[in-house]
Structure 1
């Protein structure tokens, strides 16, 4: 099955063929191009910061572009969010995002600083309740309770305020809304879009890869069904499948709390703010593999945005919920964000 594209009339048409050709070129570089790329590699480092919104110190992976150490210029800031069960090293260790960025720079794309924060399993939102007092450690990565079990789980403010302030304060970022973009995969895809919609003063563009983008959608419901969203907790539990324990802990046991964290509702609220001249609409893009569990949710959000008449891009590709898929499409999200934050058309 070929790519599916949401052809909304207000959508900024992305040059899909150009990006696909660029990705193909990156996958099979010539010897000369390989030498040039090797000579122009960025650096990856690990920071720690005090996250006031969480009440703990957190780790942060930072990519600095090839020219950072030899210039005095300022750079756009891109934030890349990991998925559930992941950490701040996922995008470099598993996704090789830094190498993809190096290759794009060698191909003529703008340089940027990339921040990859540790978001725990917090869904990049403010929790409906405080964490379980019995929380001990993150068993997936054996992170100690001192940094995993946060006392004040405001993971949205943590990204939009603490992380951005740390990068703006410690690195040569441009430091404006127009110079910032955000992206993520799975849980991080949800986070990227909801943060851009909730903090349009901070981010100018957002991309979701394989995101959980319509968490209230009932299993098997059509996008034309006016009753397609769960009204009882058991319907919500069935709809999010294996994510239920994680999402219930974060979103709570109140259907209104789930509705308040729904990307479609956040988009509706932001559209009203934009109409009043109070905010700007961020550039939005989301994609997913046709064999992914969350494809119906992505289609539902695309339908909701079309109904609202707001600009967005939505694409489906072959693939599933895997790093094979995310690595294959990381260059596309980088180009989308760089185009909108770094001045490259």
Structure 2
């Protein structure tokens, strides 16, 4: 009973966060943050995003900068990393261009059933080329990383596994990595079923994003299946994977299972289990850890 209540509270906090981003008061952006829109042909409408520039960007006219894409979670939106998160301030200690795209509740996938819900293709084929064209980026995998929280953690891992030629580092914070195989009838955590509101939103959004249970899109985008089918030669081309989850997070078990699979397949990675839950205080700490790792890996 207590576990069910905790799960509901996590879900409720995520929904409130999403609503606040849709209806919140407009605030002045920090000096290092800008906002833009991309007229997406794939999505059929303009897609907003935010960019956090490093302190020396304007003065270093001949310098190119490494780029990190940060994906938001379910019910969240692209401003989350700069409003609920502490990134505008914590990013000042690093020399990266940070980009926060809009992913709605689309699980960063190309929906097989909804026209123009092409979130995967939008990021890979439109947004990344746009950023490389507008800013002085290191325009290859050596200087590019992608990471995310919860739904965004799943998306970042999937992008790294499917497009290793584009990223040298991927990160997942509290990743909802089970998404493509989710069914309300079969999924449980530690034997405890999700609360009804959580089940409803997960069922609806995963069906919209991947199609009905058993669909080809679910199999093709299941990161467990992708890793299991990865041969030793392809493993060598994969980006380094950073994976973490809080010890009080309901998603810990699935993240442990994924880390075990990476170990079995000898895929280079780092897995951390740290005190914390499915909350912004936890993610604000972990994104800084990821930025520190990026300093060592990105070239």
Q: Aligned to 2:125, which of 158, 161, 175?
A: 161
C-alpha distance in 2 between matches for 1:266 and 1:335: 28
- Partners of 1:58 and 1:118 within 8 A in 2: yes
- Partners of 1:264 and 1:305 within 8 A in 2: no
**Residue equivalent to 1:205:** 169
C-alpha distance in 1 between matches for 2:148 and 2:112: 22
Q: Aligned to 1:301, which of 229, 242, 258?
A: 258
Q: Which has the higher contact order (CA 8 A, sep 6+)?
A: 1
* Gap change, CA 1:307 and 1:201, over 3 Å in 2: same
Root-mean-square deviation (Å): 2.2
* CA deviation vs aligned residue, 1:265-308 (integer Å, no higher than 9, x gap): 22234446616xxx711010110111111111101111211222
- Partners of 1:53 and 1:158 within 8 A in 2: yes
What is the total number of aligned residue pairs between the two structures?
260
Check if 1:183 corresponds to 2:147.
yes
C-alpha distance in 1 between matches for 2:247 and 2:297: 27
Deviation at 1:56, TM superposition (A): 1.5
**Residue equivalent to 2:67:** 77
Check if 1:46 corresponds to 2:35.
yes
C-alpha distance in 1 between matches for 2:180 and 2:57: 43
Deviation at 1:259, TM superposition (A): 2.6
- Spell out the pairing of 1:33-112 with structure 2 (5 A cutoff): 43-72=32-61, 73-102=63-92, 104-105=93-94, 111-112=95-96
* Gap change, CA 1:340 and 1:93, over 3 Å in 2: same
TM-score (structure 1 length as normaliser): 0.70
C-alpha distance in 1 between matches for 2:147 and 2:274: 18
Q: Aligned to 1:262, which of 219, 222, 238?
A: 222
- Partners of 1:192 and 1:208 within 8 A in 2: yes
**Residue equivalent to 2:111:** 127
**Residue equivalent to 1:143:** none
Rg larger in 1 or in 2? 1
* Gap change, CA 1:336 and 1:241, over 3 Å in 2: farther
C-alpha distance in 1 between matches for 2:296 and 2:39: 32
* CA deviation vs aligned residue, 1:49-96 (integer Å, no higher than 9, x gap): 122321211111001111111112010110000111111110011112
Q: Which stretches in structure 1 are left out of the alignment for 5+ residues?
A: 1-40, 106-110, 131-150, 218-229
C-alpha distance in 1 between matches for 2:262 and 2:199: 24
Check if 1:116 corresponds to 2:106.
no
C-alpha distance in 2 between matches for 1:253 and 1:70: 51
* 2:58 counterpart SS class: helix
C-alpha distance in 2 between matches for 1:153 and 1:316: 34
C-alpha distance in 1 between matches for 2:33 and 2:179: 34
C-alpha distance in 2 between matches for 1:216 and 1:52: 25
